Each structure stands twice: as structure tokens, then as C-alpha cells.
């Protein structure tokens, strides 16, 4: 891996300057491809933000804790489909093209969102309600399994070699814009409607807004052009060839999966879980928790491109090591300080510090992974590594955190979960680097 990145860096140094027209075209492409990525994360975040209302509407039980856990498990179930989407849709994108594949993923995400937005409650149609919600989440997960990888690969392939980190970081930055948008809509809705109205139908408003955006996003993404890197490739492997190549490079995929654990766990901790943690665990108002989430999204939107550009200048590994070490050392102490005297100010401070650690890591990691996956299976390889980490670890972070608090009584225990994720990713980075150096020696 280290050798591959060094070769890429040497090649970048010999590239001629990029013209202003080429830069404008590239930024236009960034906006076009990131628009669909925005919808994918908007829909996922809204489900997490309104977990409490959704639990009452579709998963009524005699226990509030059990209802919430069922909802969070449904939230996490969408991530179980991500590896399937990574393999099937990732192979489709590597064979048919980035543009055609990303149009398909947007259509699937739209279908899942519509199902959640219009499904009647459990009280109205009984058991069919939670079943439809689960199916909607699974369809969303199928799409999301390759959306992140497809967008990341597309941005990497249109980027000037000297700015791969900066360009690729806009995949994550577009997700942060969705986090901010979803949180602001949630804040507006929750402050405008009474709790009873919110429970009755108000929680559906953000999902309906997502449905309204779909036609516009389709129009935008249809203007996306295929990448030159894909068009110049003479051979586009079939699914069987792709699977064999992935099997031959299983070590790279495994290392990528373990390295992705930190970025997925931290992301869902500071975004999807924050509203539930703030209101249910810290007893803060829903408005305060959503405002903090919006601030986190804004901070990440700014920091991610900065860290991506910094990784272009100083390398990926220094940022990856620094972020994982800080995450391992600070996550639990920060959470302990927060729960010792819960307040809006402390929640904001802790979340912003964790967001900085996340942005530092993610800004370098996404481009790092695109650079080490073989080019002809880049989408499926990236998507498989990232989706496995999300399915096993990140997507279930809200549910795991809730369960750990229930089992231990320690409200700060989600910080220990984050620290464990950081240690696992740091180990994968260091061990993988040593194995690679041994192979190339």
C-alpha cells in the first residue's frame, strides 16, 4: 500500500498544471455526483433523528426501552444490506460505468425513502407496518452499500493527481451538508409542532421533503459525465472476474474494513446517535440536541476538505495515526466529563472535539482506500471494505451504545466504544503497513 501511494505521489509531481477550465469542470462534476450522496445520508440521518417517534409509531411494546431498541436495530438492519449492495451494485458500476451505476443507486434510495414516508402506523395496519419499514430500510441499505464507494471512486478519478485527497474528501463533505440540513429541518419541525402532533404525523415531514428532492436530484445527476479513467480502460471485468480479483486481494479489503471501523463508528456516534443520546440519556431538549448535531455537520463540512488537502501535502498516514491515537485516548474521558454534569455547552464541546478527530481521520482515509484498491475493481473493493465496517460496527453504533448503557448503567460507555474502534483501526493501519513493507522488501 505504501509503495502504491508513493508511486502516485511521484506521478503527481510530474503532472502539468491544471487549467482553470478543467478546475471549473471538475468542481461542477463534484457538485453533480455529490448531490445524490447528499440524499442518501439525509434519509439515513432522518431515520436516526426520529428514532423515538418511529418506535412509537411502528414498534409499540410495553417497554419504551424495547421499542427504541427495535427501532435502532431496524436502523442498523439497513447496514446489513450494504455488503450485498457493495458486491452486486459495485460490480455493476465497475462493469457498466460510474454514471449508469450511480443513477441506479439514486433510484433505489428514492424507493426506500418513499416507503418509509407513506407507510401507515402499526395501529392502522398492524404487523405489516414494521415489515414495510424494515423492507424500506433494506432497500436503502442496498443502495448505500455502493453509493459511498461509487462517489469516492468517481471523485478520485476526476481529480488532479496532486489533489486527490481534497477532491475525494467532498464525498464525506456532502454527507455533512445532509447532516446539517436534516438537523435544521428537524429543529424547525420540532419547535413548530406540539409533541402530540410530532408523534401523529410531524416526524414524516423530513421524509416527505426527501421525496420531493428526488426528481431534482435525478435531473442533476443525469448530467454527470463518465470518468476518463473508466472510458480509457480496455477491459471491464464480469462479476466472476471481479470476485476472483477481490479474493486475490482479500488482505487489502480486510485491512480497509478494519481501518474503516473508526470512521464509521465516530460518524454515527456524532450524528445519528446524538439526538437520541442528548434527549434520552442526558435529558436535554430535542432542539438542543439537534442544534448540536447541525453544528457538528457544519464543522465537518469545513474540516473534511481541509484535512483532505492536508493529506495531499504531508501524506495520509500521519493524519491517520494522529486521529486514531487521539480517539483512543480522549473519547471515554470526554464522555465522562459530559455525563458528569450534562449541559448544552458540554455536549457541544464534546461533539465538536470528536468531530475534529473524525474529520482528521476521514479526510485522509477515504482517499487512502481509493488509492490502494486495484483500479479495475476499485468500486466494489472500496464499497465492500467500507460497507462491511459499517454493517458490523458503525451502523449499529446507536443500538450498541443504548444496549451498553442499559447493561452497565454507565452513561459514558459510548466513549469506550469509540475508543475501541480507534484502537482497532490503528492496529490495522500499523500491522497492514508492516505486512506491505515485508512483501515489497
Residue 337 has a pLDDT of 97
Give tens-digit pLDDT for 314-347: 999 999 999 999 999 999 999 999 999 999 999 9
C-alpha cell read off for 87: 458486491
Residue 15 has a pLDDT of 46
Residue 304 has a pLDDT of 94
Residue 18: is its pLDDT beyond 90?
no
More confident residue, 95 or 364: 364
Residue 140 has a pLDDT of 82
Residue 11 has a pLDDT of 40
Residue 4 has a pLDDT of 41
Residue 116 has a pLDDT of 83
Residue 411 has a pLDDT of 94
Q: Among 393, 403, 395, 397, which residue's Cα sits nearest to residue 428?
A: 393
Residue 171 has a pLDDT of 84
Give tens-digit pLDDT for 407-420: 999 999 999 999 99
Averaged pLDDT of the chain: 82
Mean pLDDT along residues 412-435: 88
Mean pLDDT along residues 21-42: 72
Residue 364 has a pLDDT of 94
Q: Among 152, 148, 182, which residue's Cα sits nearest to residue 43?
A: 182
Residue 47: is its pLDDT beyond 60?
yes
Residue 361 has a pLDDT of 97
Sign of CA dihedral 203, 209, 212, 214: negative
Residue 241: is its pLDDT beyond 80?
no
- 312: Cβ contacts below 8 Å, ≥ 6 apart: 162, 163, 164, 165, 166
For residue 20, name the pLDDT band (cuts at 50, 70, 90). low
* Residue 135 and residue 142 in contact, taking contact as beta carbons nearer than 8 Å: no
Strands (E), 158-211: none
3-class secondary structure, 101:
helix
Lowest mean pLDDT among 114-128, 245-259, 321-335, 422-436: 422-436
Sign of CA dihedral 434, 436, 439, 441: negative
How many other C-beta atoms lie within 10 A of the C-beta of residue 315?
Answer: 17
Residue 92: is its pLDDT beyond 60?
yes
Give tens-digit pLDDT for 137-184: 888 888 877 777 777 877 888 788 788 898 889 888 888 888 888 878
Residue 56 has a pLDDT of 80
Residue 110 has a pLDDT of 82
Highest mean pLDDT among 93-97, 108-112, 219-223: 108-112
* Burial bucket for residue 42 (CB in 10 Å: 0-12, 13-18, 19+): buried
Residue 2 has a pLDDT of 43
For residue 8, name the pLDDT band (cuts at 50, 70, 90). very low
Amino acid at each position: 500500500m505504501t509503495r502504491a501511494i508513493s508511486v502516485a505521489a511521484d506521478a503527481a509531481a510530474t503532472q502539468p498544471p491544471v487549467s482553470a477550465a478543467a478546475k471549473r469542470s471538475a468542481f461542477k462534476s463534484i457538485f453533480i455526483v455529490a448531490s445524490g450522496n447528499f440524499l442518501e445520508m439525509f434519509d439515513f440521518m432522518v431515520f436516526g433523528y426520529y428514532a423515538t417517534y418511529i418506535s412509537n409509531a411502528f414498534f409499540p411494546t410495553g417497554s419504551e426501552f424495547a421499542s427504541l431498541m427495535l427501532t435502532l436495530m431496524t436502523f442498523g438492519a439497513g447496514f446489513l444490506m450494504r455488503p450485498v449492495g457493495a458486491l452486486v451494485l459495485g460490480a455493476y458500476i465497475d462493469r457498466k460505468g460510474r454514471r449508469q451505476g450511480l443513477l441506479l443507486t439514486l433510484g433505489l434510495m428514492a424507493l426506500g425513502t418513499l416507503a418509509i414516508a407513506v407507510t401507515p402506523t402499526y395501529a392502522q395496519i398492524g404487523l405489516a407496518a414494521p415489515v414495510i419499514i424494515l423492507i424500506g430500510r433494506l432497500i436503502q441499505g442496498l443502495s448505500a452499500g455502493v453509493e459511498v464507494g461509487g462517489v469516492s471512486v468517481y471523485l478520485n478519478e476526476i481529480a488532479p493527481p496532486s489533489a486527490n485527497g481534497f477532491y475525494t474528501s467532498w464525498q464525506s463533505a456532502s454527507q455533512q451538508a445532509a447532516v446539517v440540513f436534516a438537523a435544521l429541518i428537524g429543529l424547525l419541525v420540532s419547535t413548530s409542532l406540539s409533541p402530540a402532533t410530532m408523534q401523529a404525523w410531524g416526524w414524516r415531514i423530513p421524509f416527505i421533503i426527501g421525496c420531493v428532492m428526488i426528481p431534482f436530484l435525478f435531473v442533476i445527476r443525469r448530467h454527470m459525465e463518465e470518468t476518463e479513467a473508466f472510458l480509457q480502460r480496455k477491459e471491464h471485468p464480469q462479476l466472476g472476474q471481479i470476485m476472483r480479483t477481490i479474493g486475490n486481494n482479500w488482505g487489502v479489503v480486510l485491512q480497509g474494513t478494519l481501518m474503516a471501523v473508526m470512521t464509521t463508528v465516530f460518524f454515527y456516534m456524532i450524528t445519528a446517535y446524538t439526538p437520541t443520546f442528548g434527549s434520552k440519556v442526558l435529558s436535554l431538549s430535542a432542539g438542543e440536541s439537534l442544534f448540536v448535531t447541525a453544528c457538528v455537520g457544519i464543522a465537518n463540512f469545513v474540516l473534511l476538505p481541509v484535512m483532505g488537502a492536508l493529506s495531499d501535502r504531508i501524506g495520509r498516514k500521519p493524519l491517520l495515526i494522529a486521529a486514531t491515537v487521539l480517539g483512543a485516548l480522549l473519547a471515554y474521558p470526554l464522555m465522562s466529563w459530559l455525563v458528569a454534569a450534562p449541559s448544552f455547552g458540554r455536549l457541544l464541546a464534546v461533539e465538536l472535539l470528536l468531530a475534529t478527530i473524525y474529520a482528521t481521520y476521514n479526510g485522509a482515509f477515504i482517499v487512502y482506500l481509493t488509492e490502494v484498491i486495484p483500479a479495475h475493481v476499485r468500486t466494489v473493493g472500496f464499497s465492500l471494505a467500507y460497507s462491511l465496517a459499517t454493517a458490523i460496527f458503525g451502523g449499529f453504533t446507536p443500538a450498541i451504545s443504548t444496549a451498553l448503557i442499559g447493561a452497565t448503567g454507565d452513561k459514558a460507555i459510548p466513549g469506550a466504544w469509540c475508543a475501541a474502534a480507534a484502537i482497532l483501526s490503528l492496529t490495522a493501519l500499523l500491522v497492514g503497513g508492516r505486512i506491505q513493507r515485508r512483501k515489497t522488501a
